[in-house]
Amino acid sequence: MKILREKQVNAFLKFLKTRLAAGGGVEPMVRKILDDVRRNGDRALKKYTEKFDSVKITSFLISKKELASAADKADKKVVRALELSARRVIAFHKKQKEKSWTFSENGITLGQIIRPIERAGVYIPGGKASYPSTVLMTVIPALLAGVKEIALCMPAPGGVINPYSASAIRMLGLHEIYRIGGAQAIGAMAFGTETIKKVDKIAGPGNIYVATAKRLVFGEVDIDMIAGPSEVLIIADKTAVPSFIAADLLSQAEHDEMASAILITDSGLLAKNTAQELASQLTALKRKTIAKKSLGRYGAIIIVKRIDDAFDIANKIAPEHLEIMTAKPEKFLPAVKHAGAIFLGKWSPEPLGDYSAGPNHTLPTGGTARFSSSLGVYDFVKRSSLIDFKKQGFMRLADTVKTLADAEGLEAHGNTIRVRTGKR
Question: Which sequence positions are flagged as catalytic?
Answer: 320-321
Count of residues making up the chain: 424
Checking DSSP bridges between strand 321-325 and strand 222-223, what pairing results, if any?
unpaired
CA dist., res. 247 & res. 175, Å (int):
38
Q: Three-state secondary structure along 86-116? A: HHHHHHHHHCCCCCCEEEEECCEEEEEEEEE
Residue 319 to residues 24, 60, 365, 379, Cα–Cα distance (Å)? 21, 38, 6, 21
Which residues lie across from 130 on neighbouring strands? 126
> How far is the C-alpha of 9 from the C-alpha of 302, rounded, in Å?
8
Contact (CB, 8 A) for 118 and 147: yes
| 8 A C-beta contact, residue 245 and residue 277 | yes
DSSP for 182-246, written as a single string:
HHHHHHHHHH--SSSPP-SEEE----HHHHHHHHHHBTTBEES----S-EEEEEE-TTS-HHHHH
| Closest C-alpha to 165, from 252, 80, 82 | 82
Strand order in the sheet with 341-344: 2-5, 300-303, 260-265, 231-236, 321-325, 341-344
Listed residue (321, 375, 328) closest to 349, CA to CA: 321
Beta carbons within 10 angstroms of residue 47's beta carbon: 16
The enclosing H or E element of 266 equals none
Angstrom distance (rounded) from CA 185 to CA 273: 46
**Pairwise CA distance, residues 311 & 106, whole Å:** 49
297/234 Cα distance (integer angstroms): 17
Alpha carbon of 170 to those of 70, 231, 270, 408: distances in Å? 10, 31, 46, 57
